[in-house]
Amino acid sequence: MGRPKYSCHHHLPLLLPVILFLGVLWISPGYASAADEHVKDFYIIYLGDRPDNGDETIKTHISLLSSLNISREEAQERMAYSYTKALNAFAAKLSSHEAKKMMEMEEVLGVFRNQYRQLHTTKSWDFVGLPLTAKRHLKAERDVIIGVLDTGITPDSESFQDHGLGPPPAKWKGSCGPFKNFTGCNNKIIGAKYFKRDGTVPVGEILSPIDIDGHGTHTSSTVAGALVPNASLYGIANGTARGAVPSARVAMYKVCWAKSGCADMDILAGFEAAIHDGVDIISISIGGPIADYSSDSISVGSFHAVRKGILTVASAGNDGPSSGTVTNHEPWIMTVAASGIDRTFKSQIDLGNGKSLSGMGISMFDPKAKSYPLVSGVDAAKSKDDKFLARYCFSDSLDRKKVKGRVMLCRMGGGGVESTVKSYGGAGAIVVSDQYLDNAQIFMAPATTVNSSIGDAIYRYINSTRSPSAVIQKTRQVTVPAPFVASFSSRGPNPGSTRLLKPDIAAPGIDILAAFTLKRSLTGLDGDTQFSKFTILSGTSMACPHAAGVAAYVKSFHPDWSPAAIKSAIITSARPISTRVNKDAEFAYGGGQVNPRRAASPGLVYDMDDISYIQFLCGEGYNATTLAPLVGSKSVSCSSIVPGLGHDSLNYPTIQLTLRSAKASTMAVFRRTVTNVGPPSSVYKATVRAPEGVEITVEPMSLSFAKASQKRSFKVVVKAKQMSPGKIVSGLLVWRSPRHSVRSPIVIYSPSFSDNNL
Ligand SMILES: *[C@@H]1O[C@H](CO)[C@@H](O)[C@H](O)[C@H]1NC(C)=O
Ligand SMILES: *[C@@H]1O[C@H](CO)[C@@H](O)[C@H](O)[C@H]1NC(C)=O
Ligand SMILES: *[C@@H]1O[C@H](CO)[C@@H](O)[C@H](O)[C@H]1NC(C)=O
Ligand SMILES: *[C@@H]1O[C@H](CO)[C@@H](O)[C@H](O)[C@H]1NC(C)=O
Ligand SMILES: *[C@@H]1O[C@H](CO)[C@@H](O)[C@H](O)[C@H]1NC(C)=O
Ligand SMILES: *[C@@H]1O[C@H](CO)[C@@H](O)[C@H](O)[C@H]1NC(C)=O
Ligand SMILES: *[C@@H]1O[C@H](CO)[C@@H](O)[C@H](O)[C@H]1NC(C)=O
């Protein structure tokens, strides 16, 4: 997974097979095996505590690099970044041998090879209960700055107009260009920077924060886009587009680039700049190879952010529904799963026998004829030998003459089937797939996706008649039951820790309409002539900015709350999602669906400071060496820190107990402290729900508060009998007062044999 590749999170599920086919092409020549002594990769080198003088620090970095027996000039050339603002580290090109030598140096805390990570609205805000008319603290909202690490931004988009906004808040230290092809910032986009130092500039890209992909424009407008009436994708999903906090400000840190992806060293630089510039919330829809808490740039960057009081909100990943796939699972991050809203997009397929079937996806084309001849890929193969690949309608396997003017029935083999069919003069494509049918793909030609049972029915129809025919109608918006969790949304258990529930929360991430770039066609496929200022995308990439927007909304009511308090408010106020539709339960959706207005008034919060996170890491087996890149020093040892309390050493708003396989039963004591942020004088009573085979007790069962900010502690004892491997059951603790209910899921999980972290 460490190889350079680029793929937007929204397309990932649908393009997965394409990646398999094209992946090889995306390995850029500079990044061959690190085993080769002469090949130089970029490495990130973490050093000890930061001296105050930035220039001095840069000099130290150069001398340290020169000590590898290379000239100062060469050292300067090899240096990609000197990080001196939020951390003390540098990124430089090294051979693997040189990297090893660096690691042995006294001053060096850790050396990690630079890897590449991937990118992982309108109605959605009404759906989660944040209508246009919701109560707002407009003055405070205008002071909230959201830093977005993504593919760049489109300053010309209507979503980023700054009507009614004054100059940036006084605390803002960021900047904005001038950059090539970038019209500049205003009072909505108050900062823009780009980070790319690996020496490559992919075709079509330009060294500027301009967004040529659309992903960053989409996520930024979802968090904080201004109101844009009558926004739609060619009339589909029409309505007023807006972000969660339309008056908040956006700062874009472009760290992802076409083809090459998002490099660790650029991500780290993005975090550092965002922290230094003074953002309040960071939204990052990027994920990558699952790494441990101290070697992952998002983990390290977000840890430095949380120490400065900045909450990082990140996408859980698009590798579901397989279990144990959740990424960005650090306790200081808010990890977001993707859920569906009550709207989807379907196309009717009318067959020549008068039957009508329903397909998924967005096809904006009105058919010109009443019907077209229908043929399966196999029947349009060039030769007998081509039949296998022709089932998938791969271009080289098809006979152009047999495609022209016809609707093709193809199995899903990769993205862009309709592009092939169109280029051969075909009239449309019916794509048969059983994966990811809960989100709508946009097609660049008449096309729709059906599941295999419908696909088989169409195959049978083709066989049943001499001249089969079909037509694919233009897509219509359809109402569906919701919320549910997207099939592609990455699932727990947390591969980084058996004692921490991840993801934290679910937010809308299916078929989300938001701003886009006109620099790229809607599909990016060859021959696509569709361009739109708004488009519909799906992915945990889209869910993340929804949750970041809710965090900003909460922040606008409580500017002084800690990241942990904001996260707690969002998790404990979430709307439950039914376990009946999601067998993965909390491993799919964490606390449930975001509930913005209730999150602004949670009653109680589970608060934490940096020390809590270090206590947690100590409990996870981290030591002075492995903690060093996070804390910026080798001198923080777990023995010098008061151990955290209870089973997970963490004051987290959720609870996870992983059973020990050889035992008849497992018992654990969880210690928690809540802070009163509701009415000064209030009494909360505990309600507990224990699933079968599990005993849960809470002590005390009642908590009385006499003043604001008062803290009260309690313990939760969970005793669970052995369950079959892989099983997850859900318990619940709710603290209720007349005005608030503070909900904490309690998950009991029996590890499956395939959980390699156990
Ligand atoms: C330093 O580099 C020089 C010339 O490149 C070489 O002759 C010498 O052996 C190197 N010394 C060490 C300690 O690697
Ligand atoms: C940048 O601007 C130039 C000149 O207008 C244009 O030719 C080029 O395509 C632009 N590049 C990008 C990536 O937008
Ligand atoms: C709304 O948008 C649609 C499609 O873009 C357009 O045809 C229509 O004229 C617009 N209506 C208004 C009132 O602007
Ligand atoms: C969307 O467009 C349709 C057709 O033009 C119109 O009837 C409907 O009111 C629009 N919906 C919204 C929310 O603007
Ligand atoms: C295929 O889709 C149809 C219509 O949406 C549905 O009734 C059927 O259960 C689906 N079949 C499978 C195997 O998912
Ligand atoms: C359609 O007919 C072909 C051969 O004529 C056969 O291989 C295929 O299994 C049939 N498909 C269905 C769904 O009946
Ligand atoms: C710290 O932990 C790492 C990884 O678990 C281990 O390799 C190393 O030996 C430990 N160091 C000390 C000083 O215990």
pLDDT tens for residues 21-77?
222 222 222 233 334 456 689 999 999 766 667 788 889 999 999 999 999 999 999
Tokens matching residue 297: 């740039």
CB 404 within 8 A of CB 376: no
Between CA 279 and CA 60 the distance in angstroms is 28
- Residue 177, phi-psi category: left (phi > 0), alpha (psi -120 to 50), beta (remainder): left
> Looking at ligand 3, which residue's alpha carbon is closest to its atom 12?
230
Residue with CA closest to ligand 6 atom 14: 460
Ligand 6, CB cutoff 6 Å, lining residues: 456, 459-460, 463
Closest ligand 3 atom to residue 235 Cα is: 4
The ligand 5 atom nearest the CA atom of 434? 14
Residues of the chain with pLDDT under 70: 1-39, 49-52, 121-125, 127-129, 132, 753-758
Question: From ligand 4's centre to the CA of 611, what distance in Å?
Answer: 52
Distance 15 CA to ligand 5 centre (A): 22
Residue 119 Cα to ligand 5 midpoint, Å, equals: 31
Encode pLDDT of 245-280 as tens digits.
Answer: 999 999 999 999 988 889 999 999 999 999 999 999
Residue by residue, DSSP assigns 673-710 as: EEEE-S-SSEEEEEEEE--TTEEEEEESSEEEE-STT-
Atom of ligand 3 nearest to the CA of 230: 1
pLDDT of residue 707: 97
Which ligand is located closest to the Cα atom of residue 101? Answer: 1
Q: Which residues line ligand 2 (CB under 6 A)?
A: 181, 204, 206, 210, 212, 519
- Residue with the smallest CA separation from ligand 5 atom 5 is 358
Which residue has 């400000």 as its token pair? 249
pLDDT digits (tens, 9 = 90+) for 175-188: 998 999 999 999 99
Q: What local confidence, expressed as pLDDT, does residue 294 receive?
A: 86
Residue 246 is given by DSSP the state: T
Q: Among all ligands shown, which has an atom nearest to the Cα of 434?
A: 5
- Please name the CATH architecture into which domain 650-750 falls: Sandwich (2.60)
Amino acid at 331: P
Q: What architecture (CATH level 2) is domain 41-113?
A: 2-Layer Sandwich (3.30)
CB atoms within 10 A of CB 77: 12
The CATH architecture that domain 125-132+142-221+249-342+484-600 belongs to is 3-Layer(aba) Sandwich (3.40)
Neighbours of 706 (CB within 10 A): 9
- Residue 81, classed as helix, strand or coil, is strand
- DSSP 8-state class, residue 116: E
Cα 230 to ligand 3 centroid, rounded to whole Å: 6
pLDDT for 25: 23
Q: Which atom of ligand 2 is nearest to the CA of 205?
A: 13
CA distances (Å), origin 269, targets 175, 300, 520, 655, 682 = 15, 11, 27, 34, 45
pLDDT score at 1:
25
Which pLDDT belongs to residue 557?
Answer: 97
CA atoms within 13 A of residue 333's CA, in its CB half-sphere: 33
3-state secondary structure of 329: coil
* Distance (Å) from CA 626 to ligand 7 centroid: 7
What spacing in Å lies between the alpha carbon of 343 and ligand 3's midpoint? 21
User: What is the per-residue pLDDT for 277?
Assistant: 98
Domain ranges of the chain: 41-113, 125-132+142-221+249-342+484-600, 344-478, 613-641, 650-750
Whether ligand 7 lies within 6 angstroms of the CB of 637 is answered as no
For 712, list phi and psi in degrees, rounded to 5: -140, 140
CA-nearest of 181, 176, 117 to 150 is 117
**Is the minimum distance from the CB of 232 to ligand 4 under 6 angstroms?**
no
pLDDT at 125: 66
Q: How far is Cα 545 from Cα 532, in angstroms, rounded to an integer?
A: 21
Looking at the CA of residue 456, tell me the nearest atom of ligand 6.
Answer: 13
Ligand 5 neighbours, Cβ below 6 Å, are 358, 451, 453-454
Residue nearest (by alpha carbon) to ligand 4 atom 10: 238
Distance from residue 374's CA to the centre of ligand 6 (Å)? 15
Region 344-478: CATH code: 3.50.30.30
What is the CA(463)–ligand 6 centre distance, in A?
6
Please report which ligand is nearest the Cα atom of 458: 6
- Nearby residues of 396 by Cβ (< 8 Å), 6 or more positions away: 382, 386, 389
**Active-site residue set:** 150, 215, 541
Of 238, 343, 479, the one to substitute when testing ligand 4's pocket (max ligand atoms within 8 A of C-beta) is: 238
Ligand nearest to the CA of 239: 4
- Residue 83 CA from chain centroid, whole number: 25
Q: What is the pLDDT of residue 752?
A: 85
- For ligand 2, what atom is nearest to the CA of residue 519? 14
Task: Report the alpha-carbon distance of residue 72 to residue 428 in Å, rounded.
Answer: 61
